[in-house]
């Protein structure tokens, strides 16, 4: 297969939602259809000991939530699909925002009963900024929920998406009979057995066909005819080009837990979703069809396999071919590195890959060379844009709870900070280590992983801080004066950059007014 054909057959997308909308369950069902797994794991069921494939960290299995983005690849109908299943919880939003830089499209999962929730709004806002194509999957139709038309209105108003339903539900909850696939003009009957077969699908090119009433009943048939007519009048016709520009969002209905409505969405997705898209660097745009390899690190994960203490950097291939045992330029360090065992993923399962193409996500074993946002090329100096970092909102002092394990604690903290899940600041006047995160649950995850992956224990002390700001100043005299006067509020981040820790918004405002030549940065991209 030629290089261009390899690019055309790839689809790299992320699955995003508010917690508990069924995102990880949907991922499992997509993997089932792709033949990548044989049985799906119930994420929260205590009766089924097998947990979801994409939730491979021990804490995820215990809590029933995703706390890290996982990467999975499989083939379906001649298309190579790369799924990035992201955390839904807002405390892990930073990981999700960064993952969105590595995908070409997204599927947004919405709970039919709860509708559009806060975290969904935040994530879709990022997708719209980047003009990322969005498919909406309205989940849990086997439960009672909001009316279909009301849900579409909510999606349009709250998410600002222009929607186009490509399937329509027949009832819901106890009355749920199935969905009518408008895209393929097929009626899909609901069987709550978790196996959707061809026998459950009937072709109906004309809903006026009287056989419809024999199959789903007179009342349901009339309701479907009425609603589908209204939907086709109110909402625009589907246009694949508008979808790929991020201007139109197809909507599908189904029940992921029952494996229903998922196949219709997947079949449509492989036809309409974009193959790898151009990426942008500070120097120039990168076309995926370029001959020379370029890629960027969007995620680092320590201890993918705790037995081997391995650390994996995830690289998104943006152009050219990434080849095993080939020297590539690490732009930030200005040194050549080659990789003897680059891997592709099925969650925690890995296999060595000889060549990867644009759109692929490759795992590189890393001994500490990489930071998030780093670029790899065949020699050209490039810096990819838009990989966000957030000024932390919650802070705690971290203490060593086991003095005999100091080495393990500091190594663990260093590696976990490299993942980008939190940031560490060392206060200058007393060398106190302070961890800053976007959400409180991150502290629990760090504590758990330190103990179970590094054999170290830590405790936390509360710290009343409002903001951490990165400092720069061209006036050396004022800079020295600022550092002297605010000595107790100065810290350094992991890379040695000066940070001002403001106790309150008022303290920050006073510092800005007192030292007008000092710049306070609420950084949005990783510093080089």
pLDDT tens-place string over residues 331-352: 999 999 999 988 887 544 568 8
Alpha-carbon span 289 to 43, nearest angstrom:
39
Alpha helix positions (H), 245-343: 262-272
Alpha-carbon span 253 to 264, nearest angstrom:
9
Residue with tokens 């932390």: 392
Alpha-carbon span 149 to 223, nearest angstrom:
13
Overall average pLDDT of the 168-175 stretch: 85
**Residue 346: per-residue pLDDT:** 58
Cβ neighbors of 71 (< 8 A, separation 6 or more) are: 82, 83, 84, 314, 345, 347, 361, 363
Reading the block at residue 307, the tokens are 């037995």
Q: What is the mean pLDDT of the chain?
A: 81
**Residue 303: per-residue pLDDT:** 58
**Helix 218-234 vs helix 148-159: crossing angle, to nearest 10:** 30
Spatial CA neighbour of 361 closest among 30, 81, 93, 96? 81
**Residue 157: per-residue pLDDT:** 93
Overall average pLDDT of the 395-421 stretch: 86
301 vs 507, higher pLDDT: 507
Reading the block at residue 33, the tokens are 């259809």
pTM of the shown model = 0.74
Cβ neighbors of 430 (< 8 A, separation 6 or more) are: none
Alpha-carbon span 419 to 98, nearest angstrom:
11
- Secondary structure string (H, E, C) spanning 336-399: EECCCCCEEEECCEEEECCEECCCCEEEEECCCCCCCCCEEECCCCCCECCCECCCCCEEEEEE
- Secondary structure string (H, E, C) spanning 402-464: CHHHHHHHHHHHHHHHHCCCCEEEEECCCCCEEEEECCCHHHHHHHHHHHHHHCCCEEEEECC
Q: Which domains does the chain have, with CATH numbers?
A: 6-173+236-272 (3.40.50.300), 279-377 (3.40.50.300), 394-521 (3.30.70.3280)
CB 511 within 8 A of CB 499: no
Other CB atoms within 10 A of residue 89 CB: 19
Alpha-carbon span 355 to 72, nearest angstrom:
17
CB 100 within 8 A of CB 126: yes
61 vs 104, higher pLDDT: 104
pLDDT tens-place string over residues 105-147: 999 999 999 998 877 887 888 788 788 999 999 999 888 988 8
pLDDT tens-place string over residues 306-319: 555 567 888 999 99
pLDDT tens-place string over residues 196-212: 454 456 666 667 767 77
Residues 266, 268, 274, 275, CA torsion sign: positive
**Residue 65: per-residue pLDDT:** 38
């Amino acid at each position: 297969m030629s290089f261009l054909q390899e690019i055309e057959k790839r689809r790299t997308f992320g699955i995003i939602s508010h917690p508990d909308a069924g995102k990880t369950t949907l991922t499992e069902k997509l993997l089932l259809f792709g033949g990548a797994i044989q049985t799906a794991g119930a994420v929260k069921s205590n009766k089924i000991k097998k947990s979801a494939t994409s939730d491979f960290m021990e804490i995820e299995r215990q809590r029933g939530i995703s706390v890290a983005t996982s990467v999975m690849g499989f083939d379906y109908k001649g298309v190579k699909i790369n799924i990035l299943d992201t955390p839904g919880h807002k405390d892990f939003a930073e990981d999700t925002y960064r993952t969105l830089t590595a995908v070409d499209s997204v599927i947004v999962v919405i709970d039919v009963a709860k509708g559009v929730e806060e975290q969904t709004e935040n994530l879709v806002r990022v997708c719209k900024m980047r003009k990322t194509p969005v498919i909406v999957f309205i989940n849990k139709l086997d439960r009672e929920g909001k009316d279909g038309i009301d849900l579409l209105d909510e999606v349009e108003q709250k998410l600002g998406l222009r929607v186009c339903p490509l399937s329509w539900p027949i009832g819901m909850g106890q009355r749920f009979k199935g969905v009518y696939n408008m895209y393929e003009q097929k009626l899909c009957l609901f069987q709550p057995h978790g196996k959707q077969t061809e026998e459950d699908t009937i072709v109906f090119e004309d809903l006026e066909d009287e056989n419809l009433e024999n199959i789903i009943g007179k009342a349901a048939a009339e309701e479907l005819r009425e609603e589908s007519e209204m939907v086709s009048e109110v909402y625009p016709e589907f246009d694949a080009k508008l979808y790929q520009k991020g201007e139109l969002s197809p909507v599908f209905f189904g029940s992921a837990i029952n494996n229903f409505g998922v196949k219709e969405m997947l079949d449509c997705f492989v036809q309409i979703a974009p193959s790898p898209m151009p990426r942008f660097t500070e120097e120039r745009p990168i076309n995926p069809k370029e001959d020379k390899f370029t890629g960027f690190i969007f995620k680092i994960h320590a201890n993918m396999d705790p037995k081997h203490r391995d650390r994996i950097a995830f690289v998104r291939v943006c152009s050219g071919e990434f080849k095993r045992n080939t020297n590539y330029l690490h732009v930030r360090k200005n040194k050549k590195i080659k990789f003897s065992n680059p891997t592709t993923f099925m969650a925690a399962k890995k296999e060595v890959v000889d060549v990867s193409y644009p759109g692929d996500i490759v795992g590189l074993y890393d001994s500490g060379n990489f930071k998030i946002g780093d670029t790899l090329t065949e020699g050209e100096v490039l810096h990819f844009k838009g990989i966000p970092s957030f000024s932390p909102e919650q802070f705690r002092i971290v203490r060593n709870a086991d003095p005999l394990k100091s080495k393990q604690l500091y190594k663990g903290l260093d590696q976990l900070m490299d993942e980008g899940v939190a940031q560490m600041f060392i206060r200058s006047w007393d060398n106190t280590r302070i961890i800053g995160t976007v959400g409180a649950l991150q502290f629990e995850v760090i504590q758990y992983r330190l103990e179970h992956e590094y054999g170290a224990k830590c405790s936390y002390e509360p710290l009343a801080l409002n903001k951490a700001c990165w400092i720069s100043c061209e006036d050396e005299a004022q800079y020295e004066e600022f550092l002297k006067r605010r000595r107790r509020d100065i810290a350094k981040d992991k890379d040695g950059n000066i940070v001002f820790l403001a106790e309150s918004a008022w303290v920050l405002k006073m510092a800005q007014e007192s030292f007008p030549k000092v710049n306070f940065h609420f950084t949005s991209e990783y510093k080089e």
